[in-house]
Amino acid sequence: SPGTEWVSAAERPGSLLTRQLQELWRRSRGSLAPQRLLFEVTSASVVSERSSKYVLYTIYLIRSGQFDKAPATIARRYSDFEQLNRRLRCRFSCDMASVAFPRKRLRRNFTAETIAKRSRAFEQFLSHLHSIDEIRRSPEFLEFFFLPDLQAAQRLTCTGMYREALATWANAYRLQDRLGVCSSGRFLLTLAGLAVCHQELDQLSEAHGCCEQALQLLEAQGSHPLLGPFLQAHIHLAWKVGKDKRRSEARLQDLREAGLPLQQQPSLKECLIKEPLE
């Protein structure tokens, strides 16, 4: 990472002083350039199911120059990467012309050598895609990372498995954060999932914090399907944890006066369960 490179550079004779390096590092972090993201295959395991056998690759998304206490991870098999590659080539044929993808093999798919080569190839494949602006912002690329977690978290929440759901919503949150999509509708749904699960597990301060973050994102929006449900949840939780709820009450009153029938508003949990996630 740039941080470690610069520290080691400071130890070399004739290099910039450590203080100047730190200042340079601080300024560069504040620049508007997109955060460099590293994709690292940390493990690969052979999975045998009833009629099939495949390799599952676990990949960490790591922000360059930062230490992530809780990593954002995905686990994908060759066919998942192949589907992403096919979808992107359909939509971005020019950009994808220079992107290499590992070919399918008819045999020796499960040797340590093949798995190691594929691991490096998938790291390079994702890094190359992330370096292309149009692709990096496309739903095809983004949803490859977090849509499976959102679908799994929704299923777990619907079946009342709140602890497992919470961990899955939290990983989806970290993935969207690393990918820089923290203002999308999917991110608001993720905050709703976190708030609901925290509340069900009696972690009321954490649930309140999720509602606060969502309402900050919704600050500029006069109307949004989740605004009423988030305001109502925030008021209820603020009352429970002894925090100020006047601002949310005033915003809710504004919605009433604008003609929103709040009695018929679904709860956050109902919104979460009904949201189609294809």
- Where among 116, 137, 158 does a domain terminate? 137
Q: Helix, strand, coil proportions of the chain in percent (round to 5)?
A: 60, 10, 30
For residue 195, is pLDDT > 70? yes
Regarding whether 166 and 109 lie in a shared domain, the answer is no
The CA radius of gyration of the chain, in Å to the nearest whole number, is 22
Q: What tokens appear for 222 in the block?
A: 């006069």
The CATH number linked to 228 is: 1.25.40.10
Q: Is residue 238 part of a domain?
A: yes
Regarding whether 111 and 184 lie in a shared domain, the answer is no
pLDDT at 141 (0 to 100): 97
Tell me the C-alpha distance between 126 and 177, whole Å.
17
Regarding whether 250 and 161 lie in a shared domain, the answer is yes
Tally of domains within the chain: 2
Q: Is 59 exposed, middle or buried (0-12, 13-18, 19+ CB in 10 A)?
A: buried
Regarding whether 161 and 75 lie in a shared domain, the answer is no
CB 153 within 8 A of CB 168: yes
User: pLDDT digit string (tens) for 101-147?
Assistant: 999 877 888 899 999 999 999 999 999 999 999 999 999 999 999 99
Regarding whether 93 and 45 lie in a shared domain, the answer is yes
Mean pLDDT rounded to a whole number for the chain:
87
Regarding whether 152 and 260 lie in a shared domain, the answer is yes
Domain that holds residue 77: 35-137
The Cα-based distances of 95 to 90, 130, 132, 223 in angstroms read: 11, 12, 8, 37
User: pLDDT digit string (tens) for 215-244?
Assistant: 999 987 767 899 999 999 999 999 999 999
- Where among 137, 166, 198 does a domain terminate? 137
User: pLDDT digit string (tens) for 42-78?
Assistant: 999 999 988 889 999 999 999 887 777 888 999 999 9
User: pLDDT digit string (tens) for 77-96?
Assistant: 999 999 999 999 999 999 99
H or E element: which one contains 90? Answer: helix 78-91
Regarding whether 243 and 181 lie in a shared domain, the answer is yes
- Where among 137, 158, 189 does a domain terminate? 137
Question: Shortest CA distance to 57 belongs to which of 115, 136, 126, 140?
Answer: 115
In this structure, the number of other CB atoms found within 10 A of the CB of residue 4 comes to 9
The CATH number linked to 76 is: 3.30.1520.10
Regarding whether 154 and 51 lie in a shared domain, the answer is no
Question: How much is the pTM?
Answer: 0.84
Regarding whether 256 and 150 lie in a shared domain, the answer is yes
Regarding whether 159 and 261 lie in a shared domain, the answer is yes
